[in-house]
Amino acid sequence: MKIGGEAGQGIQTVGDSLARVFSRSGYHVFTSQDYESRVRGGHNTYQIRLSDRPVTASRAVVDIIVAFDRESVALHEKELSEIGIVVYDPAMLGETFAKPNFLSIPFVDLAVKDGGNRIMANIVAIGAVLGMLGMGIELLFDVLLSTLKKRDEDTVNKNKIAAVAGYNYAGHNCVQCSFSIVQLSNRKMLASTNDAIASGAIASGCKFYSAYPMTPSTGIMLYIAGKAKEYGIIVEQAEDEIAAINMALGASFAGIRAMTGTSGGGFALMVEGLSLAAMTETPIVIALAQRPGPATGLPTRTEQGDLLFALHAGHGEFPRVIFAPGKPEQGFLLANKAFEISQKYQIPVFILTDQYLADAQWTVEHFDLNGLSLNEYRTSGEACSGRYMRHAFTDNGVSPFCVPGLISGLVVTDSDEHDEEGHIIEDAATRIKMVDKRLFKKLPLIQQEIEPPLFYGRNKPEIVIIGWGSTYGIMKEAVDILSKKQNIAMLHFSEIYPFPSVDKFDYLGMLKGAKMTICVEQNATNQFARLMKTETGFECSALINRYDGRPYLLEEFLGELYAHIG
């Protein structure tokens, strides 16, 4: 189903409430949003797909359209299925549609009459959808109680009455409704990948998060801020991204696990801080939520355009790690791995997400808490007494990292090249030894910790589709459909750099044995395919790219694949 209207009409409230009702009913749910970069007006949609089997992408066809404005009808009526219905309030749209697949419901009149306020028109609409589906309304009452927990009892009751009014009206008047949704067992959790990344950070001991709000990364900061008091976390809204990364570096140097997050142009401002982290070997986790650029680009839309930017950003040469989860479960565990690796090797680690992942919500059975690691890598005890050499040469390149204030020795580090104690140097011999320590000794060890891509589909496939990050869901659904008739499989890379070796899984051997390999990316220049060729020499036989700021819908993506495989 799709809810459409202007910003400010409560589109997200309707969508979120219905999605939570469906997930608590035991259904698998996938939601996505499309909105413009403005506070009020424009045209926004919230799409919900529910099923009794896992769903990981949106479809082009919808069964119910809830239209809060005329544009929702004009733009989306053609998307209706054969049994599809458009629900609308003639008073809101200023027009009546005499068509069999249109159902008029007086959202505003019912809100005023039964709830006492026209602002509850969207609550009436939520009740109406549940009435059309033949579902019970009790779970909606639970959702309203949790949503309105800070409101008084009278407000909650009026919202319930408004919802019942819409529910009864639709139940009695939608004679063409042929939907039948029953409650299943085992309620499910609903989460976005940004929420999962934030949860993983908290579970990994993150105690400081600093950022300047920037779509689509802001959700991570808001989630952590919402849990800050409960878990003892400091969340700082910095004056800009330069301050944000430097605050996080200061916190990390002082001995606590720290993270920052941004998007697009905000990361451009962070680049000097990234180099500072590398030179001072200060651990930092950076969430980079991609959106179309350059400059402000399309700030509320999606793209995978910053992979090579994250890979090459910074002055000089230093090790870094890049992760790109494709679903909430990966976001949760990779956030944990990002903290572990950044602390263990004293390096910056990126988590790449994008607008699609930030706003899409998935039902999740649970997060794998047994998959978490929480090790202490800070040096303590006798090693921090006496002469403290912050950048001491070691066999593995990892130097003692004591907590300033808890040691008796002098603490020195510097953004200039330095000696083992941290003092500035100019001599060539020390420079070479420091580069070898920071880069060449650490990098092979880091690469051993990188996991191979996820393989899914038929064994010994003739066709392999390859993707990274947010293309996971659309590729999986395509493989599920096509593998009934095609010998097809997918490789999804979520641990991207250092590029995974073939020691744990010879994915290159499998790719070389396939008749066709198709790399799928949401950018114009095949950034991942080029990285793969650079690192492995392997070149995909076909490429699928989308760079209009919109994610793939299932039918569109299948069409792209059919164009290649016939």
Write out pLDDT tens, residues 344-384. 999 999 999 999 999 999 999 889 999 999 999 999 988 88
Q: Distance (Å, rounded) from C-alpha 564 to C-alpha 284?
A: 42
Residue 465, strand partner residues: 490, 518
From CA 328, how far away is CA 23, in angstroms rounded?
15
Per-residue pLDDT reduced to its tens digit, 459-499 = 999 999 999 999 999 999 999 999 999 999 999 999 999 99
Mean pLDDT of the chain: 96
Q: What is the pLDDT of residues 167-176, one digit of tens each?
A: 999 999 988 8
Structure confidence by residue, pLDDT tens digits, 385-404: 889 999 999 999 999 999 99
Q: Which residues contact 121 (CB under 8 A, 6 or more apart)?
A: 10, 89, 92, 107, 108, 110, 111
Residue 146 pLDDT > 80: yes
pLDDT tens per residue across span 52-83: 999 999 999 999 999 999 999 999 999 999 99
Cα separation, 28 vs 46, in Å, equals 17
pLDDT for residue 150 is more than 80: no
Model confidence at 109, in pLDDT bands (50, 70, 90)? very high
Give the helix ranges, DSSP H, for 285-377.
307-312, 328-345, 355-359
Residues 235, 228: Cα–Cα separation, whole Å: 7
Neighbours of 381 (CB within 10 A): 7
The pLDDT of residue 175: 85
What residues does 491 pair with on adjacent strands?
455, 466
Count CB-CB contacts under 10 A for residue 280.
18
Q: Helix, strand or coil for residue 242?
A: helix
pLDDT in tens, 248-281: 999 999 999 999 999 999 999 999 999 999 999 9
- How many CA atoms lie less than 13 Å away from 54 in the CB half-sphere? 12
Handedness of CA 118, 120, 126, 127 (dihedral sign): negative
Q: For the sheet with 284-290, list strands across it.
A: 234-237, 206-211, 257-263, 284-290, 348-354, 321-323, 495-497
Percentage of the chain with pLDDT > 70?
100
User: What pLDDT was estimated at residue 125?
Assistant: 97
Q: How many other C-beta atoms are found inside a 10 Å radius of the C-beta of residue 441?
A: 18
Which DSSP helix (H) or strand (E) runs through 3? strand 2-7
pLDDT of residue 511: 98
Judge residue 276's burial from the number of C-beta atoms within 10 Å of its C-beta, 0-12 exposed, 13-18 middle, 19 or more buried.
Answer: buried
C-alpha 179/C-alpha 65 separation (Å) is 14
pLDDT tens digits, residue range 199-242?
A: 999 999 999 999 999 999 999 999 999 999 999 999 999 999 99
CA separation for the pair 505, 492 (Å, rounded): 13
Provide the pLDDT confidence category of residue 148 given band limits of 50, 70 and 90: confident
Q: Is the peptide bond before 283 cis (omega within 30 degrees of 0)?
A: no
- Strand 2-7 with 41-51, pairing: antiparallel
Alpha carbon separation from 513 to 103, 219, 461, 462, 519 (Å, rounded):
54, 42, 8, 8, 16
pLDDT at 43 over 90: yes
According to DSSP, the residues that pair with 170 across neighbouring strands are none
Structure-block tokens of residue 449:
């910790």
**Average pLDDT over every residue of 510-516:** 97
Sheet of strand 542-545, all strands in order from the earlier edge strand to the far edge: 454-457, 488-493, 463-468, 516-521, 542-545
Reported confidence tier of residue 50, pLDDT bands at 50, 70, 90: very high
